[in-house]
Amino acid sequence: MALEIDRSLHIIHCDLDAFYAAVEQNDDPTLRGKPVIVGGSAESRGVVSTCSYEARSFGVRSAMPITRARRLCPQGVYLPVRMQRYLEVSQQVFAILSDYTPLMEPLSIDEAILDVSGTQNLFGTPEEIGREIKSRVRSELGLTISVGISYNMFLAKLASELDKPDGMFIIPYDQAMQILRPLPVTRLWGVGDKARQTLERMGLKTIGDIQDLPPGWLAERLGTSGQLYWDLAHGNDKRQVDTNEERKSLGREITFPEDVSDMPMLQNTLAAFSAELCRKLRRDKLYCSTITLKLRYNTFKTITRSQTIAPTHADLVIAQVADDLLQKNYQGNPSLRLIGLSLGKLSAAPDVQQGDLFGEAGKYAEVDMLMDQICQRFGSRVIQRGNQLHKPGQVNRQST
């Protein structure tokens, strides 16, 4: 017997607005109202990671070369990426979201999906939950977040995209087909530029064009992708929120808003992951013996590379191994869509003592313990190791 699909409003998609730029403006109030471009200096060869809505009014967009952004917006404030800070704020946002349901799936550093089907008696309707989330993110963190509500993941994500920034949009079951119909096919999950070209060659430019096709027609021509597009065009998405709660390992990953190839930024990200994960290991009195690096290219090819070491929970040991894995397995091309770090073979006590391969382990333990105490009392932002700072050659904040 086929599983009946829940058509009630119970899925909420939360997406922070212009996240990196918003954090910069929030941390430095003098930047509010100014066109902020995050990604590097105005003279760099990098690309725009995120830009404020003020910058977008000049035509600046994510993934645009910084050189072009400067031509469009020479008066912009050009800032380097501060991944450690963005990760910290992301954790604070996710902590707020997790107050409303244990069924939360982070999709990237600045967005997550919630299933509130089991918590509405506690917190109210999905609309009431959405409004409370927006209010708390603004009052507690000074940021705006857009919220989409529907009966499945695809439509909830689409809903948040249709009312940005700082919006809230609801797509109920009886209105889904009508709302979808005039939208371009690129609004469907999985339809990038190549898929768009393929669909347009078939005369399919809008989601309504796909809705008008007979069942099976697109699947016969495009296989499973065609069936997926047809299902989504009809408002059908059977995926469930994945909480990924298995604790045989401990991991952290980030899907970048735009593809990244900048090595210092990737190294800083891994160093930040190492510090965060090691604090959790030490808090739970655990050690790890396996370190795994995960890379997903902009082609969606994904690789993982692992290394086994003596059990440890020292930041510097794990960060060094992660950095070695990165340099051995990534040469800057193609760009990365996602990077992740996971620590496996967790144990309550090390089978052997960490040796001196990476230095004097005893000193690591003393420094780690002191840093943990400081972070626990004052927050993780007040102290960090030098490997989490910007590498030589990275620029400080500047305005042109």
Supply the residues annotated as catalytic: 111
Alpha carbon of 185 to those of 15, 27, 112, 162, 371: distances in Å? 21, 38, 23, 14, 50
Amino acid (1-letter code) at residue 235: G
Q: 145: exposed, middle or buried (C-beta count within 10 Å: 0-12, 13-18, 19+)?
A: buried
Please state the length of the chain. Answer: 400
What's the token pair of residue 31?
A: 């930047």
Residues paired with 341 in a beta bridge: 252, 293
* Whole-number Å distance between alpha carbons of 133 and 168: 11
Burial 156-177 (b: 16+ CB within 10 A, else e): bbbbbeeebeebbbbbebeebe
Buried b (16+ CB within 10 A) or exposed e, 54-85: bbbebebbbebebeebbeebeebbbbbbbbbb
Residue 108's contacts (CB-CB under 8 Å, 6 or more residues apart) are: 254, 255, 256, 257
- 307, 322, 243, 239: which is closest to 275 by C-alpha? 322
Nearest of 348, 272, 357 to residue 313 by alpha carbon: 348
Q: In whole angstroms, give the CA distance from residue 321 to residue 318.
A: 5
Residues 6+ apart with CB under 8 A from 134: 144, 145, 147, 166, 168
Find, among 46, 44, 45, 39, the residue nearest to 21 by Cα.
39
Please list, in sequence order, all residues whose beta carbon lies within 8 angstroms of the beta carbon of residue 187, skipping any fewer than 6 positions away: 158, 161, 180, 207
Phi/psi for 389 (5° steps) reads -85, 170
